Amino acid sequence: MKVDTYLFGSVEVSPEKIITFPNGLVGFEQSKRFMLAHEEGTAQPTSYTLQSLDVPTLAFQIVDPVTLGYNYELALSDAETALLQSPAPEEVAVMQVLFKKEEDGKASITPNLRAPLVINTKARIGLQKVMETMQPNLTLSNLASAV
């Protein structure tokens, strides 16, 4: 299927490569079908572009939280597990959406820690897990002395 995008122009997308978010993403509920793109020639990309196939001008940069030093331990509700079609743990990818933040005239890129994407990589279906509160899982290393 041929799709027009703002970032990549007109691209051919194989139907089995489409990732569906039945509920859309927060603030963009109308966009449900996406494709992943990354820099050509990169065997292990650190970030991806999640390009909407429904809204050509909508795209997000996403990253594996591990590359930023974060580790999620998520508990999915029965409804979320059903929406993801009950994947095995090895079939699940957790990704963070990056956004541009400007303060005092300075721009920075920040991950959205409270709303990671959870994707069943086998069924190619996903959801955005919005968390009211977070309990970070922190690991400290290289301490000078035992606590």
Q: Per the domain annotation, does 31 fall within a domain?
A: yes
Show the tokens assigned to 84: 């993801």
Q: Which CATH number characterizes residue 99's domain?
A: 2.30.290.10
Counted domains in the chain: 1
- Residue 119 in domain: yes
Cβ-count burial 7-35 (b if 16+ within 10 Å, e if not): eeeeeebeeeebbebeebbeeeeebbbbb
- Is residue 34 a part of any domain in this protein? yes
Residue 10 lies in a domain: yes
Residue pLDDT, tens place only, 4-61:
887 888 888 988 889 999 999 999 999 999 999 877 766 677 889 999 999 989 999 9
Q: What Cα–Cα distance (Å) separates residue 110 from each residue in 65, 77, 107? A: 12, 27, 10
Residue 137 domain-assigned? no
Which of 68, 75, 62 shows the shortest CA–CA distance to 35? 62
The residues, ordered by sequence, that sit 6+ positions from 70 with a Cβ below 8 Å of its Cβ are 96, 111, 113
Residue 110 lies in a domain: yes
- The per-residue pLDDT for range 101-128, each reduced to its tens digit, is 888 888 888 888 889 999 999 999 999 9
- Amino acid identity, position 119: I
Residue 71's domain comprises 2-128
